[in-house]
Amino acid sequence: MQLHLRTNVRQNYRQVFEAFDEQLFRKLAPPYPTLKLLRFDGSEPGDVVEVELQTGVKSFRWTSLITERTITDSEAYFVDEGQVLPPPLKLWHHKHLVTALGAGATIHDIINYSTGNKLLDLLLYPLMVAQFSMRKPVYRKIFGRL
């Protein structure tokens, strides 16, 4: 299942892309489940990000590996792929793409996920949209509204 959310911001795409660091990662964390950051290497290929999702009842590990990073004259992106995922996820591929938009930029969250069950993927879709839509006001607060 694919989810593609876009947020237009005021800053230049390179400035926005370079701001994807541990501080921004923490600000983008959803209110639930809470995230305990265990490891954050960065956004270069080979870097690892590891969190513990804390639901209040049970905790789950989530480990992602950065597999790609590219910067061109009009866009920049990196990809994180899930290595250890919480149930029911079996596949996670998240492309963090920032494209030029005049003097500003568009931040794209392009997520491909799978539970291995198409019905369950469909049921999770509204939750995924809700979770990642929470990033929009954070992006706009940090990078300016366009």
**Alpha helices for 19-134 (secondary structure H):** 22-28, 118-133
Structural tokens at position 140: 């706009």
* Local structure of 10: helix, strand or coil: coil
Q: pTM to 2 decimals? A: 0.96
Q: What are the strands of the beta sheet with 75-84, ordered from one edge?
A: 2-9, 104-114, 91-101, 75-84, 59-71, 48-54, 34-40
- Convert the pLDDT of each residue in 19-78 to its tens digit: 999 999 999 999 999 999 999 999 999 999 999 999 999 999 999 999 999 999 999 999
